[in-house]
Chains A and B, each alone.
Chain A
Amino acid sequence: MLFKSVVDWLCNPPILFTLIFILFFAAFLLRKLRWLWSPRAALIAFALGAAFVAYGLTDPNFRLIVTKPDNVPIVAMLFLVGFFSWLSMYLALKNDERMGKSLPPEEKLESEIKILVWPDLVYTEFLCMILWGVLLIVWSIYLKAPIEEPANPAKTPNPSKAPWYFLGLQEMLVYYDPWIAGVLLPGLIIIGLMALPYIDPNKKGNGYYTFAERKWEILTFQFGFLVLWVMMIITGTFFRGPNQNFFGPFEKWDVHKLVPLSNINLSEVIWVQVFNTGLPQNWFLREIFGILLVLAYFVLTPLLLAKTWFKPFFEKMGMARYQILVFLLLCMVSLPIKMYLRWLFNMHYVVAIPEYFFNI
């Protein structure tokens, strides 16, 4: 099957993520093409997605993964997140057009009108509860919750995966060590979300959908949420099989699939391949280039950016806010950077100090 092998090839993380990065920015930056965000385009995309899933269900391997009871909500999430991301953009672009004609956003037309909570809101909530209740009961009757064999500390199943909502983090473990992927980055995600209202200098776009007035905020947030969180979950759920190897959606999960792993550290590249001297004994000397590189990334980049692209932000935000914002941004962007270093150069660690569990 040509189609299946093409899809399998496209789902390879390097290809998939490169495509997603391009598609993501194209979709947002080409918003002038109105049909791209029209209900018709959304319907076509939805139909294509549904058709793909329906077609995929005819394939035994695809069916095996997608119909795992715990994975059903993820397929639903994919469509839900897609739909609501589209809806928010659609409403935002509609408002942008109105504001382009100096009209107030749509929400403004009704925001001054006050309505009684009883009956309007209470009944809406009531209906919402009934719908969800029915949905849950039907879903629970038709789909049994998973239960496997009893816990056995001596037998590790292959693959062993975290719960699905943490698979984005587990996917980061492919590129980063546990102390970064499991502790530092999740912590920074939480801190970053909490800091968001305080480091966002933009006062516009409060209480209505808009894209034109909040380009950078929306691009950054959606890049983090859609690409680095939801897409990573999709990858970790559907494309990671035994031994955490990559498997396309139509590929059989073969335990014995051999993937040549030839990852090297930056220090090895420099000392062995460039200088031909072999690794120095002293860890600090051995890793000095990696350490300098990481320091430069976190110290020099903010300064450079403040002088160039981020100049308007820097002037508007002040030093403290700007530094926090750029640090968080650099941490976020470091993930795609590390991914490409791995894919293009087989880079394992930029800094590798296993003596102190310090690997970046």
Chain B
Amino acid sequence: MATPPKKSWFDNLRESQVWNSIFRHGPPDNTRNRSLAVLTNVFLHLHPVKVRKSGLRLKYTWCAGGTTFFLFLVETITGLLLMFYYRPTAEYAFVDILDLRSQVPLGVMREIHRWGAHAMVIAVWLHMLRVFMTGSYKPPREFNWNVGVLLLVLTLLLSFTGYLLPWDQLAMWAVTVGSNMARATPFLGNEGPGAALLKVGDIGLVHAGDDARFALLAGRFVGSAALLRFYVLHCVGIPLVAAVLMAVHFWRVRKDGGISGPL
């Protein structure tokens, strides 16, 4: 009488009630279970079950879009961790950034966040280049290209708002120079063409205390109010909008026929 082969601990684990309550299908060694692995997992289900083989080629996609998304996740996680130690006031901001390096364990969190941000900007540009060069913005994907353009702009805005947070000379003057362009917005900036025409009687409606730049900085210059405003935009406002658009973006990739390929 042959003894049945001894079960490994992993086999036992796989037959346990707990395991089966979490994973609702067997090991992914056949087509059905592999499909279920993607279908029944909330994180994987934004993939289709099957994709074009040509779309999987790294030389076709460069994995630029996926890289951008991964870097967004890295930024979210590291950014969240940084928020535990950073106070967005003119009084503390600079010191807290210094402390992140010296007083906080594993003092590279800020570095990962910053270099990840730079890498994300580059990745999103390369993704745009790839999508353009493969003609993947053509029908039926026109709308998704537009969502992508908005995401690109939001990526730059995320970077720009984050740039102010260290509250050093580099940050402050980069934002001063950048936000001063808002002064020149036609009609809406106090130094924009046409702003002088908007007046009631003799009183100009657009001046340094109520124009586009003022709305951005919550003041006439880059001060504590601007720091707080940029902080909120950087940590909550823009990421929320970007997350919604990303959901739309990935959804539309699938609905418009997956990764593009020749018709």
Q: Are B135 and A207 in contact (CB under 8 A)?
A: yes
Residue B52 at the A interface, CB < 8 A? yes
Residue B218 at the A interface, CB < 8 A? no
Interface residues of B in 16-57 (CB under 8 A from A): 28, 31, 34-35, 37-38, 44, 47-57
Find the residue from A118, A202, A205 having the highest chain B CB count within 10 A: A118
Residue B118 at the A interface, CB < 8 A? yes
Which one of B50, B70, B173, B184 contacts A182 once the chains associate, using CB atoms below 8 Å? B184
Q: CA A154 – CA B259 in complex, angstroms?
A: 52
Q: Are B138 and A183 in contact (CB under 8 A)?
A: no
Closest CB-CB distance, A242 to chain B, in whole Å? 13
Q: Are A184 and B115 in contact (CB under 8 A)?
A: no
Q: Are A161 and B177 in contact (CB under 8 A)?
A: yes
Residue A162 at the B interface, CB < 8 A? yes
Q: Are B56 and A183 in contact (CB under 8 A)?
A: no
B118 cross-chain contacts in A, Cβ below 8 A: 70, 73, 164
Q: Are A208 and B138 in contact (CB under 8 A)?
A: no
Given contacts A163-B163, A183-B192, contact A111 B97 (CB under 8 A): no
B134 cross-chain contacts in A, Cβ below 8 A: 88, 207-209
Q: Type the 1/0 row for B185-199, where 1 means its CB is closer than 8 Å to any CB of A.
A: 110010111111100
Residue B13 at the A interface, CB < 8 A? no
Q: Are A357 and B178 in contact (CB under 8 A)?
A: no
Q: Are B122 and A184 in contact (CB under 8 A)?
A: no
Q: Are A81 and B125 in contact (CB under 8 A)?
A: yes
Which one of A128, A137, A146, A214 contacts B112 once the chains associate, using CB atoms below 8 Å? A137
Q: CA A178 – CA B15 in complex, angstroms?
A: 68
Q: Are A136 and B149 in contact (CB under 8 A)?
A: no
Q: Are B173 and A117 in contact (CB under 8 A)?
A: no
Q: Are B145 and A109 in contact (CB under 8 A)?
A: no
Counting contact residues on chain B (CB < 8 A from A), the size range is: 35 or more
Residue A151 at the B interface, CB < 8 A? yes
Instruction: Output the nearest chain A residue to B108 by Cβ-Cβ distance.
Output: A140
Interface residues of B in 87-142 (CB under 8 A from A): 90, 94, 97-98, 101, 108, 110-112, 114-116, 118-119, 121-122, 125-126, 129-130, 132-139, 141-142
Interface residues of A in 207-257 (CB under 8 A from B): 207-210, 214, 218, 221, 225
Interface residues of A in 131-188 (CB under 8 A from B): 132-133, 136-137, 139-141, 143-153, 155-157, 160-166, 169-170, 177-179, 181-184
Q: Are A113 and B53 in contact (CB under 8 A)?
A: yes
Closest CB-CB distance, A85 to chain B, in whole Å? 7
Closest CB-CB distance, B227 to chain A, in whole Å? 9
Given contacts A129-B70, A162-B178, A357-B184, contact A206 B111 (CB under 8 A): no
Q: Are A145 and B111 in contact (CB under 8 A)?
A: yes
Given contacts A122-B44, A357-B191, contact A207 B263 (CB under 8 A): yes
Interface residues of A in 83-113 (CB under 8 A from B): 84-85, 87-88, 91-92, 104-113
Residue A44 at the B interface, CB < 8 A? no
Residue A196 at the B interface, CB < 8 A? yes
B246 cross-chain contacts in A, Cβ below 8 A: none
Interface residues of chain B, those whose CB is within 8 Å of chain A, are 28, 31, 34-35, 37-38, 44, 47-60, 62-63, 66-67, 70-71, 74, 90, 94, 97-98, 101, 108, 110-112, 114-116, 118-119, 121-122, 125-126, 129-130, 132-139, 141-142, 145-146, 149, 152-153, 156, 159-160, 163, 166-174, 176-178, 180-186, 189, 191-197, 221-223, 260-263
Q: List 16 A-B contacts (CB under 8 A).
A: A73-B118, A107-B54, A113-B53, A121-B51, A125-B63, A128-B63, A136-B115, A161-B174, A166-B178, A177-B184, A183-B186, A190-B149, A194-B145, A208-B262, A209-B134, A225-B125
Other A-B contacts than A145-B114, A160-B176, 5 sampled, CB-CB below 8 A, are A145-B110, A150-B168, A183-B182, A197-B146, A209-B134
